Amino acid sequence: MSSQENTALNILEERTSIKEYDTSVSISKEELTKLLSITTKAPSAWNLQHWHFTVFHSQESKDRLLPIAFNQKQVSQASAVVAVLGDLQANLNGEAVYGPLAEAGYMTEEIKNTLLGQINGAYQNSGFARDAAFTNASLAAMQLMIAAKAMGYDTCAMGGFDKEAFVKEFNIDERYVPVMLISVGKPVKPAHKSNRFDVSDVSTWL
């Protein structure tokens, strides 16, 4: 096992959900930008990058979010909170994704148009669009949490918040659906002990 692989596995093993944060610790906009940049390297169907991030960096913004998140203290205590949104109209990204590749000669115009046709055809189904928004935004959310751990921060993913109130309070475009909130910061104490089911309990081998 290489040292690089060992480091990656250690990060995955050590990641926990932190509920109490050191309020004296701040994260710079530059660090958060780097974190989000790494997050956007997550995989996505057709590389449509079905995500958008609302970043709560100031204390004022976190305090506005707090009641919408049912007063979960990590929202106010964390150095930042990132709301991960899913893109219900990610098909509109298709030309921006594939156009430059076709222009650079990495694919033919015919292949580009075939892909765009497949994508737009799939997005005629609103159920597909919603499922894709949640699935692909969740991949980005996991990438964010692992990247944060690698950068020396801890996180907590939260699905418990009033999504309708969130959309209204922060003027979220109807193109996007709230998926989860992720607090980011330094812990003041370790996470609560938890266990995991054995692999044999959660897998079927064929």
191, pLDDT greater than 70: yes
Give the model's pLDDT for residue 190.
79
pTM of the model: 0.94
Q: What percent of the chain has pLDDT over 90?
A: 93
CATH of 6-89+135-191, one of 3.30.2310.20, 2.40.50.100, 3.40.109.10, 3.40.630.30: 3.40.109.10
Give the model's pLDDT for residue 2.
67
5, pLDDT greater than 80: no
Confidence of residue 76 (pLDDT cuts 50, 70, 90): very high
pLDDT one-digit tens code per residue, 80-106: 999 999 999 999 999 999 999 999 999
Q: Which of 193, 156, 1 is nearest to 76 (CA)?
A: 156
Mean pLDDT, the chain, as a whole number? 96
Q: Where are the domains of the chain?
A: 6-89+135-191
Give the model's pLDDT for residue 4.
66
Confidence of residue 148 (pLDDT cuts 50, 70, 90): very high
122, pLDDT greater than 90: yes
Give the model's pLDDT for residue 194.
83
